[in-house]
Chains A and B, each alone.
Chain A
Amino acid sequence: MATVTTEEAAVVTRGSMTPLPYRVVRKRRENHDNWTLELEPVADAIDPIGPGQFTMLYAFGVGEVPISTSGDIEASGTTLVHTIRAVGSVTKALCAAGAGDVLGVRGPFGNTWPIEAAHGRDLVLVGGGVGLPPLRPAIYHALAHRADFGKIVVLYGGRTPEDLLFRKELARWRSRLDTAVEVSVDSAGPDWSGNVGVVTKLIPGAAFDPDDAVAFVVGPEIMMRFTARALIDRGLPPERIWISMERTMRCGVGLCGHCQLGPTLICRDGPVYRWDELEPLLGVPEL
């Protein structure tokens, strides 16, 4: 039986619910409601974060939200990079922070993208809307270790051209010549000369070999379902499709019960999941 002695209890030093102070060192506006914050530890740093993982970001007195890491991890050292959409009171407070302001950070939590599973294979990364930031660290990693992969294909879908994130980088990645980047928007005006239509339309024509590819998909749940279906129709087996899940999250450390989806705790077993393992759960409405 798990009886905790006083000595063992003392080893639990900084509580898992206690944030570390991080200072905003740079802030970039990505579009009308998305900002990227770069944070540096004021004193202690959290453990190194991996692509796909998240931290709980705390806005003083307002609250905390889980935000995926979205930067170039290998180039960042202890600096944390997070791209945040201002939709609620906490994210709005975070996005209102300026350089010099101090936020709280807990983490890193969750699991990472199985990048090794894509070694020697084609890597397809499909992002929808704010799904691109959690993929970006995997993209940076793959491009920095280009020879480890076959084709690299980035497919990105947004609402309108004005909503697209990281446009400059998308163009830069494409200009590398060894990386395919295709973008589509749900609707557009006359200034847009790119694709219009759902991101799944980009899949049939994308340049990868379904027999030897791995896909990472992030976006609204319904977009991930349609995308997985389209990838499977193209011949990619469900065991080589990985998604990143999101659910109500409060503690991020597996102690509060909120992020359950059936048998899994997303903060602990996810947020990255293999499609075939999660699909049955996603098919049960209101699970």
Chain B
Amino acid sequence: MRTLDALIVESPVFKGLDQDQLELIAGCASNTVFAAGDRLFREGDQADTFFLIRHGLVALDAYVPNRGQLTVETVGPSEIVGWSWLLPPYRWHFTGRAVELVRAVQFDGACLRKKCDEDPLLGYDLITRFSQVLVSRLQATRLQLMDVYGDRHD
């Protein structure tokens, strides 16, 4: 049974954290489990948490009139779900649904934001790490947008 600390520091987004930073962050973290079909968060709700997925698949859904519920992305083990906690207006952009059993480390975003206000260096470090997450999401999304497998209507 791995400790919370180990799980955090081994994940790609938090790799290289020093002991002090790790303690600050772990202080805002806890283990959590979702059953298949459970909703982790809803689009529009206050975003004060984010998750590091340990096991399972989380779908990011959007409801599109006429098309119904669309899954825009799934997020799996070692990946982070949620960056809306970091930037105003702190609202979820999509609905998160557990596709199957999900074990995750849940982080209290409000708690972390407070610690970042007190320790700007920690804040800078977290912004840098999460920027990486955003950039790779952006790249992936752009490729999805290009709809490369679709029909070309020339």
Query: A interface vs B, CB < 8 Å?
Result: 87, 128-130, 157-159, 163, 184, 186-190, 192-198, 200-201, 204-205, 219-220, 222-223, 226
Please tell me if the beta carbons of A196 and B72 are within 8 angstroms of each other in the complex.
yes
Interface size of B by Cβ–Cβ distance < 8 Å? 28
Which residues in A have their C-beta under 8 angstroms from that of B99?
Answer: 193-194
What distance in Å separates the Cβ of B147 from its nearest Cβ neighbour in chain A? 7
Which residues in B have their C-beta under 8 angstroms from that of A157?
Answer: 149
CA of A192 to CA of B71, assembled, Å: 9
CA of A194 to CA of B59, assembled, Å: 9
Assuming A187-B72, A189-B69, what are 12 further A-B pairs, CB within 8 angstroms?
A128-B148, A129-B149, A163-B149, A186-B144, A189-B68, A190-B71, A193-B99, A195-B74, A197-B140, A205-B77, A222-B148, A223-B143
CA of A254 to CA of B70, assembled, Å: 46
* Chain B, Cβ-Cβ closest to A220: B148
* Chain B, Cβ-Cβ closest to A190: B69
Please tell me if the beta carbons of B74 and A220 are within 8 angstroms of each other in the complex.
no
What distance in Å separates the Cβ of B73 from its nearest Cβ neighbour in chain A? 5
Which residues in B have their C-beta under 8 angstroms from that of A87?
Answer: 151
Please tell me if the beta carbons of B144 and A190 are within 8 angstroms of each other in the complex.
no
CB of B57 closer than 8 Å to a CB of A = yes
The listed residue (B72, B148, B150) touching A219 by CB distance below 8 A is B148
The listed residue (B12, B59, B70, B149) touching A130 by CB distance below 8 A is B149
* Chain B, Cβ-Cβ closest to A33: B151
CA of A239 to CA of B98, assembled, Å: 39
Please tell me if the beta carbons of A188 and B71 are within 8 angstroms of each other in the complex.
yes
CB of B100 closer than 8 Å to a CB of A = yes
A sample of 12 cross-chain residue pairs with beta-carbon separation below 8 angstroms, ordered by A number, consists of A129-B149, A130-B149, A186-B147, A187-B71, A189-B67, A193-B100, A195-B57, A197-B73, A197-B140, A200-B143, A204-B12, A220-B149
Please tell me if the beta carbons of B140 and A159 are within 8 angstroms of each other in the complex.
no
* Chain A, Cβ-Cβ closest to B152: A87
Which residues in A have their C-beta under 8 angstroms from that of B143?
Answer: 198, 200, 222-223, 226
Please give me the 7 A-B residue pairs with the lowest Cβ-Cβ distance, nearest first.
Answer: A129-B149, A220-B148, A159-B149, A196-B74, A196-B71, A198-B143, A197-B73
Please tell me if the beta carbons of A188 and B151 are within 8 angstroms of each other in the complex.
no
CA of A220 to CA of B146, assembled, Å: 11
What distance in Å separates the Cβ of A158 from its nearest Cβ neighbour in chain B? 6
Given the known interface contacts A189-B70, A190-B69, A197-B74, the answer about A129 and B148 at a Cβ–Cβ threshold of 8 Å is: yes
> For window 37-68 of chain B, which residues contact chain A by CB distance below 8 Å?
57, 59-61, 67-68
What distance in Å separates the Cβ of A243 from its nearest Cβ neighbour in chain B? 14
What distance in Å separates the Cβ of A15 from its nearest Cβ neighbour in chain B? 33
Which residues in B have their C-beta under 8 angstroms from that of A128?
Answer: 148-149
Which residues in A have their C-beta under 8 angstroms from that of B147?
Answer: 159, 186
> For window 1-50 of chain B, which residues contact chain A by CB distance below 8 Å?
12
Which residues in A have their C-beta under 8 angstroms from that of B73?
Answer: 196-197
CA of A87 to CA of B74, assembled, Å: 30
* Chain B, Cβ-Cβ closest to A197: B73
CA of A193 to CA of B12, assembled, Å: 25
Which residues in B have their C-beta under 8 angstroms from that of A205?
Answer: 76-78
* Chain A, Cβ-Cβ closest to B75: A197
Which residues in B have their C-beta under 8 angstroms from that of A197?
Answer: 73-74, 140, 144
What distance in Å separates the Cβ of B11 from its nearest Cβ neighbour in chain A? 12
Please tell me if the beta carbons of A195 and B72 are within 8 angstroms of each other in the complex.
no
Most buried by A among B71, B76, B149: B149
CA of A157 to CA of B67, assembled, Å: 22
Please tell me if the beta carbons of B150 and A189 are within 8 angstroms of each other in the complex.
no
> For window 114-154 of chain B, which residues contact chain A by CB distance below 8 Å?
139-140, 143-144, 146-151
What distance in Å separates the Cβ of B15 from its nearest Cβ neighbour in chain A? 13
